[in-house]
């Protein structure tokens, strides 16, 4: 996201501000506007910097955690859940691909309601 913002600052800033208004999935809109998605840019840069493949994979698939090409599925699912919680912490109505959260939690042996309850409790503690 930072690389796209750095090289297309005005267009990407507008894109981010309008993200909640897109009818379709915002990754598709991102690819339409910039020719690439932030997860692909992130994966490319992390690979170029020679970071371990599980980290590269987590960046590349954090919006598609159930993809059958994933080798390190647990890490990707944790990053996906964390991404959704980050959007929630910004009080955003837009949650990218949040329909995967329940499936990710289930496959990791986590109770979705407990994850959300813990998140809310943590938000209350940090707000105080």
Say if residue 17's pLDDT is above 70: no
- pLDDT tens column, 98-113: 778 899 999 999 999 9
77/73 Cα distance (integer angstroms):
6
Q: Which domain holds residue 42?
A: 2-127
Specify the pLDDT at position 69. Answer: 95
C-alpha closest to that of 45 among 31, 59, 33: 59
Q: Where are the alpha helices (DSSP H) in the chain?
A: 2-7, 9-17, 26-34, 38-48, 53-61, 73-89, 101-108, 112-127
C-alpha closest to that of 53 among 75, 81, 84, 80: 75
Specify the pLDDT at position 71. Answer: 97
Specify the pLDDT at position 66. Answer: 93
Higher pLDDT, 113 or 10: 113
C-alpha closest to that of 2 among 55, 31, 38, 27: 38
**Are the C-beta atoms of 63 and 96 separated by less than 8 Å?**
yes
C-alpha closest to that of 62 among 87, 34, 35: 87
- pLDDT tens column, 82-102: 988 887 887 666 666 577 889
Q: Domain tally for the chain?
A: 1
Specify the pLDDT at position 115. Answer: 92
Give percent of the chain above pLDDT 70.
75
* Global pTM value: 0.77
Say if residue 1's pLDDT is above 60: no
114/26 Cα distance (integer angstroms):
28
Task: Kindly report which listed range (27-36, 72-81, 106-115) carries the lowest average pLDDT score.
Answer: 27-36
125/96 Cα distance (integer angstroms):
25
């Amino acid at each position: 996201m930072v690389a796209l913002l750095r090289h297309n600052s005005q267009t990407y800033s507008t894109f981010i501000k309008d993200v909640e208004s897109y009818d379709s999935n915002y990754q598709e809109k991102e690819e339409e506007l910039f020719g690439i998605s932030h997860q692909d840019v992130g994966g490319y840069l992390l690979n170029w910097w020679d970071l371990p493949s599980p980290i590269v994979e987590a960046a590349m698939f954090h919006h598609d955690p159930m993809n059958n090409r994933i080798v390190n599925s647990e890490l990707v699912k944790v990053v996906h859940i964390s991404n959704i919680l980050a959007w929630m912490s910004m009080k955003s109505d837009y949650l990218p691909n949040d329909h995967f959260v329940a499936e990710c939690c289930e496959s990791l042996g986590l109770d979705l309601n407990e994850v959300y309850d813990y998140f809310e409790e943590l938000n209350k503690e940090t707000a105080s």
